[in-house]
């Protein structure tokens, strides 16, 4: 297998002033083009792990770090966040907290201007990013603050996508959104997977939406990674996830319960569609 695009080795991190390690020895390898879902309870270190992938940790936060993180050949301790930003795009949970300008157009081209791309290329990349995130042209002069939650986060994603980074890290991109907004963002993620061969890393509580998209699921729990597996394998042991404060989608828990009651012995379904099939199979046997 080719060299991984992200390699985390024995990563430990402690914020200045806190007693405990937030990350207590994390190892992780991610390959180019993989779509990775990271799950786990709050305060388990997910956000810290995400921020260590683009160098915000350790560069922008005071603290103690052990081990190393190499992203696209760059050791995060030896490169600035702005340098790493050429390879890694980062989307924050609260769309409003990451807006840097007062019109959508400025927002989407901001990073491209920073990189000093020629005018024509900026224009071309801007249209490409807007199209992928389904943002209409007449939004260009609108303040991003006045859009709906889902639109806001799509603009935030577009302004990261415009850089065409090799790697995109999204930290709970839907957690502040209403259900329509969540669906819009998940649709954009689906488009990204389909049309843009980047490495996508998403931290997400809504497993229902992320399970069918991911190539690989990562469980973060109390500063460690107790499980990494493709989704079908990852979700088979529902009880293991529940013990780690992760609540898999309803239909998985249901089928797990049916297995416990001896009504079924096949694999756990990933989607409502598959679950419908399972229930029909069970009831069809009578």
Partner 1 sequence: MGEAVRVDHISYVYPDGTVGLKEATLTIQEGEFLAFIGQNGSGKTTLSKNISGLLKPTTGDVWVFGRNTREAPMSELATLVGYIFQNPDHQLFNQTVYDEIAYGPRNLKLPEEEVEERVTEAMRIVGLDESYREEHPFFLSKGLRQRVAIASILAMRPRVIIVDEPTTGQDFKQSIDIMDFLTMLNREHGHTIIIITHDMPIVAKYAERTVAMADGRILLDGPTREVFAQAEVLARANIKPPQITRLAQRLGDLGIPPNVLSIEEMADLIESAVKGGS
Partner 2 sequence: MPTKMRRSLLGYLPVDSPIFSLHPMTRLLFLLIVSAYPMIVRLPELNVAGSIFMLALFKVSKVDLRVIKNYKMAFVNLFFVIAIAYTFFGGYNPDYRVLIKLGPVKVCWENLRWATVVYIQLIFAILIMIFFLSTMRERDIVVGLRALRVPFVLAYMAGLALRSIGLSIIDFNTIREAEKARALDLQALPFSEKVKKFGMYIVPLVALAIRRSDEVSNALDSRGFRFTGLRSGRRTDYILSKYRMTRLDYAVLAGMGVFLAGIVLISVYTDWLALENSLLYRI
Is 18 a binding residue for partner 2 by CB under 8 A? The answer is no
The DSSP code sequence of 9-54 is EEEEEEETT-SS-SEEEEEEEE-TT-EEEEE--TTSSHHHHHHHHT
Looking only at residues 160 through 219 of this chain, which bind partner 2 when binding is defined by CB under 8 A? 160, 163
CA distance 50 to 45: 9
Q: Do the beta carbons of residue 235 and residue 87 sit within 8 Å?
A: no
Options 17, 62, 118, 262; binder of partner 2; rule CB under 8 A: 118
Q: Which of 4, 25, 33, 41 binds partner 1 (CB under 8 A)?
A: 41
- In the range 28-57, which residues lie near partner 2 by CB under 8 A? 54, 56
203 forms beta bridges with 38, 171
Q: How far is the CB of 263 from partner 1 (least distance, A)?
A: 6
Helical pair 104-115 and 149-161, crossing angle rounded to 10 deg: 20
Which does residue 87 bind out of partner 1, partner 2, none, counting CB within 5 to 8 angstroms by kind?
none
CB of 261 to partner 1, least distance (A): 6
Name which of 126 and 254 has its Cβ closer to partner 1.
Answer: 254
DSSP one-letter code for 144: G
Among 180, 226, 230, 243, binds partner 1 (CB under 8 A): 180
Can residue 243 be called a binding residue for partner 1 (CB under 8 A)? Answer: no
- Round to whole Å and give the CA distance between 11 and 217: 19
**Of 78-86, 95-103, 228-236, 243-251: span binding partner 1 (CB under 8 A):** 243-251
How far is the C-alpha of 286 from the C-alpha of 258, rounded, in Å?
15
Q: Can you tell me which residue has the tokens 């991003």?
A: 144
Q: Specify whether the CB–CB gap between 88 and 54 falls below 8 A.
A: yes
Q: Is 267 in the site for partner 1 (CB under 8 A)?
A: no
Q: How many residues make up the chain in this entry?
A: 286
Q: Which is nearer to partner 1, 5 or 219 (CB)?
A: 219
CA angle 229, 235, 241 (to 5 degrees): 100
Q: Does residue 71 belong to the site contacting partner 2 (CB under 8 A)?
A: no
Instruction: Provide φ and ψ at 148, rounded to 5°.
Output: -70, 165
Minimum Å distance from CB 279 to partner 1? Answer: 6
* Minimum distance, C-beta of residue 137 to partner 1, in the bound complex (Å): 23
Measured from the CB of residue 107, what is the shortest distance to partner 2 in angstroms?
9
CB within 8 Å of 279: residues ≥ 6 apart: none
Q: Cβ contacts of residue 273 below 8 Å, gap of 6+?
A: none
List residues near partner 1 by CB under 8 A.
Answer: 41-42, 93, 148-149, 172, 175-176, 178-181, 205, 208, 245-247, 249-251, 253-254, 257-258, 261, 263, 272, 275-276, 279-280, 282-283, 285-286
List residues near partner 2 by CB under 8 A.
Answer: 54, 56, 59-60, 80-82, 85-86, 89-90, 92, 94, 97-103, 105-106, 109-119, 122-123, 138, 141-143, 146, 159-160, 163
């Amino acid at each position: 297998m080719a060299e991984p695009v992200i390699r985390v080795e024995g990563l430990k991190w402690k914020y200045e002033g806190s007693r405990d390690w937030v990350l207590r020895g994390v190892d992780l390898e991610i390959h180019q083009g993989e779509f990775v879902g990271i799950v786990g309870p709050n305060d388990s270190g997910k956000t810290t792990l995400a921020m260590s992938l683009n160098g915000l940790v350790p560069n922008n936060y005071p603290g103690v770090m052990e081990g190393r993180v190499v992203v696209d050949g760059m050791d995060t301790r030896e490169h600035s966040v702005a340098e790493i930003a050429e390879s890694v795009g980062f989307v924050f949970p609260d769309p409003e907290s990451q807006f840097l300008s007062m019109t959508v157009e400025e927002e989407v081209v901001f990073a491209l201007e920073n990189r000093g791309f020629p005018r024509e290329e900026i224009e071309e990349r801007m249209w490409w990013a807007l199209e992928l995130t389904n943002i209409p042209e007449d939004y260009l002069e609108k303040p991003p603050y006045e859009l709906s939650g889902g639109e806001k986060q799509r603009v935030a994603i577009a302004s990261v996508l415009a850089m065409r980074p090799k790697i995109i890290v999204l930290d709970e991109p839907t957690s502040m959104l209403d259900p329509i907004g969540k669906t819009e963002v998940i649709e954009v993620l689906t488009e990204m997977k389909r049309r843009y061969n980047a490495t996508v890393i998403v931290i997400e509580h809504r497993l229902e939406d992320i399970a069918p998209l991911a190539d690989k699921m990562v469980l973060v729990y109390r500063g460690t990674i107790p499980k990494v597996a493709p989704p079908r394998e990852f979700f088979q042991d529902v009880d293991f996830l529940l013990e780690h404060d992760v609540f898999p989608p309803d239909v998985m828990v249901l089928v797990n319960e049916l297995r416990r009651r001896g009504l079924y012995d096949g694999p756990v379904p990933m989607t409502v569609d598959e679950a419908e099939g399972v229930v029909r199979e069970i009831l069809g046997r009578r």
